[in-house]
Chain A
C-alpha cells in the first residue's frame, strides 16, 4: 500500500472529466452520537457529503470509522442526532431503512457474498426481490456489471471457488446491480493478499471516474491521494481533521494526524 502512496506515478492516469462535485447534498449527518452500552463510540459527528464526492475516512483501529459508515445504512443504530440520506431521514421506520439500503450500496471487508448462490444469483437476488425486476432483465444488468469488474466468465461459479480479489469485485458488482446513488466501502482491501489489492482498487477508481458518490474506510493512502477529494481523519469517535488530500498529506495540522501518518507511511 505504501508503494502507491509514496510513488503515485506508478499508478495509471486518472480521468477526472466526470468527477464533479455538485451542490446537491447526498448525506447530511448532524450532531450524531452513538454508544455501545456505555462506551461512547461516535461523538458529535457533523458531516455533509455532496453528490459526486469521493471521501476517504482513515484513522487508527477503534476510532469509529467503520461504525460511522455503517450508521449511514443503519447496520448500526445511532442514538442521538440526525442522518439524512438522499432526503430520507433514518428513523426506526422499517420502510425508510429498506428504501435507504436499496439505494446505498455497501462493500465489506470480508465481501459477505452468499456462498450458497452462484455469482450471477448473488448479483440478481436483490434486484429481483427488492426492485421486482424481471429475472431476464436482472441477469442482463448483472452480466453488464460483471463485465465491468472484468469477471463475466465466473458468473456460474460459486463464491467459494473465486480468489479474494475476485470475490470483492463481485461484491462491488452486486451492489452496483441495485443502481445505488451512494457507495460505502468498509475496508474493502484489508482482507486481501497484496497481489489482489490492485485489481479491487482499479475497480473502485473506475467507479470514481464515473462520478459515483463514495465513502471509503481504507488505509490505501495512494488511493486517497489519487481519487479522493476529501480525506477525513478520525480518532476516538470524533472527526479530528479533514482536508483535500494534497494538503492532508503534505501539511497535517493536528499532532494526532501527524503521528498516524508517520506510522502508516513511515515504514
Chain B
C-alpha cells in the first residue's frame, strides 16, 4: 500500500515537451466555414436566410446602378433613353445628372476658369498634412506645413497676397514676444503678452499694413467672395479647418478642466458644458444671425469664417471630453514619475501625459472628427451651399426637377470615402503606436 502511494506522489519529468501543432480538424478554410457558418441547424438556417436577404437587396439595387444612363441633358431625356433601350418603366439610374453638374457639386458657384485654385489648394493640403500623419516623411517638411495654411487661404479667396502675409506676421510677432519675455519676465507674463500682442495687431494694424504694402508692391490674384464657395469644397474647408483648429483647443480645454487653478477650471467646465449642451444648428444660427449684434458696428465678419469658428468651438468641447477620458485612464504613477524627475507641468504634459492620453483617445477623437465632418452639411440651413444645398439647387432647375437618389448616392459615397479613410487611418495609427504588451 505505502509503496504504490509513494509511486503516485513522487514524480520527476525527464524531458521537457516541445511545442506541437494543433490537430488537422482544427485548421484550414473548410473548418472555418463549418465553425462560423454551419455549426448547427439553427446557424445553418440563419446563414441561408442571410444569404437570401443579401441576394434580394442586391437584385433590387444592382440593375438600377449598373444599367444607369450616363449621357443625357435632362431627367426627361434620361427617361426617354431608358424607355427606348431598356423597355418602359425599367429600373435605371440617371447618372447623367452627375456628368452634367459634377463641377457644381464640387465647387459650388466658384468661377469655372479658377477651378485650378481650389484643386491646387487641395494638393498643397495633402502635401502639408503628410509629415503630420506619417512619420516616414522627413521632419523638415513641417516648415512647409506651417506655411501652407496661408498659401491655401490666398489660393482659395484670392485678393492681395499681402493680407495672409500680414496675418502670418501676427504669429511671428507672438513667437518673438515669447522668446524675448520668457527668460526675463517668467512664463505667465510672457504667455499673456505673446497671446495679446498678435490679437491687438490683427485688429488694428494687420489690415492697414496689408493695404499699404499692396499699394507699394501689388501682388494679387482675382478675389472670390465666400458666397461663391459651395459643394464639397465648402464641406472640406469648413471640416478640415475645424478639425485642425479644434484638436489643440480641445486638448487645452481638457487640461483646463483638470487644472487646480480655480478660474481656469471653472471657465473650461462652463465652456464645455454650455457648448455641448446646445444643438449645433442653434450655434450656426447664432453665427449667422446673432453674432453681428455683438460685433462692433461696421465690422464685416465673413459668414464662412464665423461658421468655421462655431463648428471649431463645438467640436473642441467634444474633443475636450474625449481627451479627458484619456487623461483619466492614465495611472497616477505616470504623473508622479514625471514629477519626481523634476519635469515642469508643460514638459510633463507634452512629453509624458499627452502622448499616452491622446493615444488612448484616438478612437474617440476620430469619432468626433467624423461626426464633425458630416455635420458640415448642416450649414445648408443658414444659406450656405454645401452638397445638400446644391442638390436642392440642382433639383430646382427645369432639366433636373424630380431627381433625388442619384445625387444623394453620390454625396453619400463621397462622404463615406472621406469618413472611412479617417477611420482606417485611426486604426493604422493605433497599431503603429502599440508598445509591447502591458
Q: How far is the CB of B60 from chain A (nearest CB, A)?
A: 50
Q: Are B356 and A115 in contact (CB under 8 A)?
A: yes
Q: Does B39 sit at the interface, judged by CB under 8 A?
A: no
Residues of A near B48 (CB, < 8 A) are none
Q: Are A126 and B342 in contact (CB under 8 A)?
A: yes
Residues of A near B352 (CB, < 8 A) are 114, 125
Residues of A near B341 (CB, < 8 A) are 101-102, 125-126, 130, 174-175, 178
Specify the chain B residue showing the minimal Cβ separation from A100.
B342
Specify the chain B residue showing the minimal Cβ separation from A94.
B344
Residues of B near A112 (CB, < 8 A) are 331, 333-334, 336-337, 340
Q: Are B437 and A178 in contact (CB under 8 A)?
A: no
The 7 sampled A-B contact pairs (Cβ below 8 Å) are A94-B344, A112-B334, A116-B356, A125-B341, A157-B436, A158-B435, A178-B342
In the bound assembly, the distance between CA atoms of A105 and B341 in angstroms comes to 7
Q: Does B146 sit at the interface, judged by CB under 8 A?
A: no
Q: Does A98 sit at the interface, judged by CB under 8 A?
A: yes
Partner of B435, one of A98, A101, A129, A160: A160
Can you list, as one digit per residue, whether each of A172-203 has a CB less than 8 Å from chain B (1) or not (0)?
00110010000000000000000000000000
Q: Are A114 and B337 in contact (CB under 8 A)?
A: yes
Q: Are A160 and B343 in contact (CB under 8 A)?
A: no
Q: Are A159 and B333 in contact (CB under 8 A)?
A: no
Q: Does B43 sit at the interface, judged by CB under 8 A?
A: no
Residues of B near A174 (CB, < 8 A) are 341
Q: Are B340 and A98 in contact (CB under 8 A)?
A: no
Q: Are B342 and A102 in contact (CB under 8 A)?
A: yes
In the bound assembly, the distance between CA atoms of A113 and B336 in angstroms comes to 10
Q: Are B356 and A130 in contact (CB under 8 A)?
A: no
Q: Does B189 sit at the interface, judged by CB under 8 A?
A: no
In the bound assembly, the distance between CA atoms of A110 and B337 in angstroms comes to 10
Q: Does A161 sit at the interface, judged by CB under 8 A?
A: yes
Q: Does A73 sit at the interface, judged by CB under 8 A?
A: yes
Q: Does A249 sit at the interface, judged by CB under 8 A?
A: no
Interface residues of B in 302-331 (CB under 8 A from A): 331
Specify the chain A residue showing the minimal Cβ separation from B338.
A114
Can you list, as one digit per residue, whether each of A104-123 has a CB less than 8 Å from chain B (1) or not (0)?
11101011111110000000
Q: How far is the CB of A90 from chain B (nearest CB, A)?
A: 13
Q: Are A113 and B337 in contact (CB under 8 A)?
A: yes
Q: Does A75 sit at the interface, judged by CB under 8 A?
A: yes
Q: Which residues of A contact B (CB under 8 A)?
A: 73-75, 94, 98-99, 101-106, 108, 110-116, 125-126, 129-130, 157-161, 174-175, 178
Residues of A near B355 (CB, < 8 A) are 116
In the bound assembly, the distance between CA atoms of A163 and B207 in angstroms comes to 61
Known: A160-B436, A160-B438, A161-B436. A101 touches B331 (CB 8 A): no
Specify the chain A residue showing the minimal Cβ separation from B345.
A94
Residues of A near B338 (CB, < 8 A) are 114
Known: A108-B337, A112-B337, A114-B337. A101 touches B436 (CB 8 A): no
In the bound assembly, the distance between CA atoms of A129 and B345 in angstroms comes to 12
Q: Are B436 and A75 in contact (CB under 8 A)?
A: no
In the bound assembly, the distance between CA atoms of A113 and B333 in angstroms comes to 9
In the bound assembly, the distance between CA atoms of A58 and B142 in angstroms comes to 53
A102-B341, A103-B342, A130-B343 given. 12 additional CB < 8 A pairs? A101-B341, A104-B340, A110-B331, A110-B333, A112-B331, A114-B356, A125-B351, A159-B436, A160-B435, A160-B438, A175-B340, A178-B342
Partner of B437, one of A110, A125, A160: A160
In the bound assembly, the distance between CA atoms of A103 and B340 in angstroms comes to 9
Most chain A C-beta atoms within 10 Å of own C-beta, residue among B337, B351, B359, B433? B337
In the bound assembly, the distance between CA atoms of A161 and B438 in angstroms comes to 8
Residues of A near B337 (CB, < 8 A) are 108, 112-114
Residues of A near B342 (CB, < 8 A) are 98-99, 101-103, 126, 130, 178
Most chain B C-beta atoms within 10 Å of own C-beta, residue among A94, A105, A129, A161? A129
Q: Does B399 sit at the interface, judged by CB under 8 A?
A: no
Q: Are A108 and B351 in contact (CB under 8 A)?
A: no
Q: Does B339 sit at the interface, judged by CB under 8 A?
A: yes
Known: A102-B341, A108-B333, A108-B337. A129 touches B356 (CB 8 A): no
Q: Are A75 and B336 in contact (CB under 8 A)?
A: yes
Interface residues of B in 386-438 (CB under 8 A from A): 433, 435-438
Partner of A126, one of B336, B343, B435: B343
Residues of A near B334 (CB, < 8 A) are 112, 114
Residues of A near B433 (CB, < 8 A) are 116
In the bound assembly, the distance between CA atoms of A171 and B438 in angstroms comes to 16
Q: Does B205 sit at the interface, judged by CB under 8 A?
A: no
Residues of B near A126 (CB, < 8 A) are 341-343
Known: A101-B339, A108-B333. A115 touches B435 (CB 8 A): yes
In the bound assembly, the distance between CA atoms of A99 and B347 in angstroms comes to 15
Residues of B near A102 (CB, < 8 A) are 341-342
Residues of B near A94 (CB, < 8 A) are 344
In the bound assembly, the distance between CA atoms of A106 and B337 in angstroms comes to 8
Residues of B near A161 (CB, < 8 A) are 436-437
Residues of B near A99 (CB, < 8 A) are 342
Can you list, as one digit per residue, whether each of B287-308 has a CB less than 8 Å from chain A (1) or not (0)?
0000000000000000000000
Residues of B near A103 (CB, < 8 A) are 342
Q: How far is the CB of B230 from chain A (nearest CB, A)?
A: 43
Residues of A near B340 (CB, < 8 A) are 73, 75, 101, 104-106, 108, 112, 175
Q: How far is the CB of A109 from chain B (nearest CB, A)?
A: 9
In the bound assembly, the distance between CA atoms of A174 and B351 in angstroms comes to 15
Q: How far is the CB of B145 from chain A (nearest CB, A)?
A: 23
